[in-house]
Structure 1
């Protein structure tokens, strides 16, 4: 057994990203020429881990990959990123998760994921990492792995007086359980994901603040709403909801921005 005290532990997903760069998103039934193609290592869970590691935090990932070449290479890549993989499991007779991503010239994207081995991540996997989990400073989650596993892990951490928990509510899922909002310490979503939960269309700062207020009413201790070019809205009570505008920057790809927000927060707190 290796190190047990990590700054950040992620319970989450690993995906192989197949990325097509195109002038625009094709219409239904349309074929268009792309500009470039790349294969990369992604998944919202792994993205959180990589972001944390690059910001200087010691990190560990509790996850499952397939027993294909993609999965074996993924474990090597995680190690190359200085991420502890002691509890990242190769799953027999299952393919690794994959994401088909189309990115336009102006940075918009659309994504289709096939979860593969990520669907096999269970609470028993988490229990094997009990010491790592409870001795960390923060535990991060997303919704690309079974929701039951996330809920049981949040309950376990709460019962045992464990570390701070962050849930990135992505992707939006039809079977979302509001129990998650009450169990985690911080819940972070974008406009689409928040709308699916609070049943309110988010168009501007005013409706964004209303959505954050609704999330707090549903049980959130701290809610964060990312709104792209319109900035971020966050709050820990209906009387304390704030908006932070963004500065215009050129970015390579917007997919991991929520994760960078979460891990940046943790690392900044660590250094205070």
Structure 2
């Protein structure tokens, strides 16, 4: 059966160390542990959507090293269609260097590796996957030209389009917004996109309104412990976050995006899909790692 969710994005091997706190510039700290974990925002969102009820295909690139093969095998283990995960000769697989502190906050450095080889032409070779999908998800860990092509192609095909604008440092090209059904940033991403501070529910409303004015269909700003803010042309709605004891916030946003997408393609309304994505993300932060923390459908308390 054809995939109903297609994720176009990154695959990284996460190199994770835990320490009492994050290092200051020029400082060397003793770490408490080290692990390698399959990650990358694209792959994380694909795994989340697959575990939470979607039929998923991944379009991405890895290098010709052991990490690339491990990442592909990890996706295949989740029954994700990997026909469009391309191995690029002479290039390393993308990696993310992650430090997690005692309060579960993290600092991340990403090396693109094979992700930089995901060109618009590479996506075009698998246009049949987009054609068969109901929903397409993008992030910003692959070249901007590839994201632009995918957003506009998915819109032309009449698909539901989600952009998780991460990582982002400034405004997106204005002509992208009209191709996006759901823009899902966190607080810092919403601030970078809107040019406005986002440090409270009220300032999140102002930033969301600005993003709607730029032409995006709907906005969901994830606010960590404060929950999520949904905004569309009819107004705003706040979704409080489930109360949990956080261990590691890595991939919480990816779990929300994948869970939200999976709920939509299963026919749930968008508000029910937001609550479901929150429930899945809340469970993920009680576990360590990126993909290992993502829950399965039967683990998530249905909203």
Range class of TM-score, shorter chain: over 0.9
> In structure 2, what is the equivalent of residue 224 of structure 1?
220
Matched, 1:246 2:241: yes
Q: CA deviation at 1:173?
A: 3.4
Kept in 1: contact 2:139–2:164 (CA 8 A): yes
- Structure 2 gaps, min length 5: 269-303
Displacement after TM superposition at 1:137 (Å): 1.5
Hey, what's the Cα distance between the residues in 2 that align with 1:185 and 1:25?
A: 36
CA shift in 2, pair 1:67/1:26, >3 Å? same
Q: Residue 50 of structure 2 is aligned with which of 38, 48, 53?
A: 53
Q: Which of 102, 111, 116 is residue 108 of structure 2 equivalent to?
A: 111
Tell me: CA distance 1:174–1:119, structure 2 relative to 1, closer, same or farther (3 Å).
Answer: farther
Asked if structure 1 preserves the Cα contact closer than 8 Å seen for 2:14 and 2:36, the reply is: yes
The 1-side partners of 2:17 and 2:157 are apart by 44
CA distances 1:1-33 after superposition (whole Å, capped 9, x unpaired): xx5x21211000001100011111111111111
Q: 2:160 aligns with which of 164, 171, 185?
A: 164
Q: Which residue, 184, 189, 193 being the options, matches 2:185?
A: 189
TM-score by length of 1: 0.94
1:83 aligns with 2:51: no
Of the candidates 151, 155, 158, which is equivalent to residue 154 of structure 1? 151
CA distance in 2, matches of 1:156, 1:22: 43
1:174 Cα deviation (Å)?
Answer: 4.4
Asked whether the 8 Å contact 1:8–1:138 carries over to 2, the reply is yes
Render the CA deviation track for 1:185-229: whole Å, top value 9, x for unaligned.
110001111111111111111101101111101111001101111
Q: Which residue of 2 aligns with 1:100?
A: 97
Matches within 5 A, 1:4-19: 5-19=2-16
SS at match of 2:184: strand
Structure 1: gaps (5+ residues): none
Q: Does the aligned pair in 2 maintain the 1:213–1:241 contact within 8 Å?
A: no
Equivalent residue, structure 2, for 1:32? 29
State how far apart, in whole Å, the 1-side matches of 2:19 and 2:110 are: 19
Give the secondary structure class of the aligned counterpart of 2:16.
strand
Distance 1:263 1:17 in 2: 19
Structure with the higher fraction of residues in strand conformation: 1
Could you tell me how far apart the structure 1 residues matched to 2:188 and 2:89 are?
Answer: 35
What CA deviation, in whole Å up to 9, does each residue of 1:83-109 have, x standing for no partner?
111000000111111100011111101
Cα separation, partners in 2 of 1:87 and 1:100, compared to 1, 3 Å: same
Q: CA deviation at 1:178?
A: 2.7
- TM-score (normalised: structure 2): 0.84
* Runs of 4+ deviating beyond 4 Å: none
The verdict on how the C-alpha distance between 1:271 and 1:218 changes in structure 2, with shifts beyond 3 A counting, is closer
Match of 1:145 in 2: 142
Aligned residue pairs total 267
Q: Does 1:205 align with 2:201?
A: yes
Q: Is the 8 A contact 2:94 2:111 kept in 1?
A: yes
Specify the SS of the correspondent of 1:260.
helix
The Cα offsets for residues 130-162 of structure 1, whole Å up to 9 and x where unpaired, read as 11111112111000001111111221222233x
2:64 aligned with 1:44, yes or no? Answer: no
